[in-house]
Amino acid sequence: MSTIVRPYGDTTGDGMVQLSFTLPVPADKRAEGAALQLAGKMGLDPAMVVHSRAMGDGYTFFVVYGRVQHLVDLGKVRRLRRKLVVVGACIGTDAHTVGIDAILNVKGIAGEKGLEYYRELRVVNLGAQVSVPDLVERARAEKADAVLVSQVVTQRDAHLHNTREMSAAFREALPAARRPLLVVGGPRFDERDAAGLGVDRIFGRGTTPREVASYLVHAVLPARAVAA
């Protein structure tokens, strides 16, 4: 059986795909032209607008159908063959769990489900005021692939001190091959400071669960996945 496949629409291997999107333009012929232009830039050739509908004042929703030339090599698809384990907490004296709960809890935020909703993830939410040693030990016991820490308290740069203490503790406790991804978030972090704080990624204000999930999958799989 070939591991090279192409999308299927009407006949095997015809490369036909359907996608939908919204453009901030009024619903008219120019809007349809803009939709086709976008589809062409995405690699659909030929493409056709099969559905369009006004979405309020100045917005139009489109469904576009067209052919792509791209092939997919199933032999290069990688998977973890188990659930990705995420441990989350607020460390130190920080008792503000709204941020970490919005990312982890199934109810999520603003209508977007949290990481607990994803069946491919196993989430362990330790809550507030977790000590760094306890976090390291629990992450080790759970064989965590990633550790998510929320820090809202910033007096005297507590969020920075706590993050550095956490990253140093993980480096001391676990070899690099077994060390989980270290991710921190909070309203006062600068996302450019990850390397200086010893973590893999920083998320700032307004981050959604979907953004965190996408990062975790793309960061964890290359290091720990196996061929499908």
- pLDDT at 227 (0 to 100): 47
- pLDDT at 225 (0 to 100): 61
Residue indicated by tokens 């996945």:
225
Task: Please give the average pLDDT of every successive group of 10 residues along the chain, which has 228 residues.
Answer: 86 94 96 97 96 95 96 82 94 91 93 94 96 97 97 88 96 93 94 96 93 93 64
* CA distances, 138 to each of 84, 125, 126, 142, 147 (Å): 15, 11, 9, 6, 10
Q: What's the CA gap between 126 and 117, in Å, rounded?
A: 17
Q: What's the CA gap between 136 and 180, in Å, rounded?
A: 10
Say what the pTM is.
0.72
- List the catalytic residues: 107
**Residue 129, phi-psi category: left (phi > 0), alpha (psi -120 to 50), beta (remainder):** left
Rounded to 10 degrees, the C-alpha dihedral 86/116/96/132 comes to -20
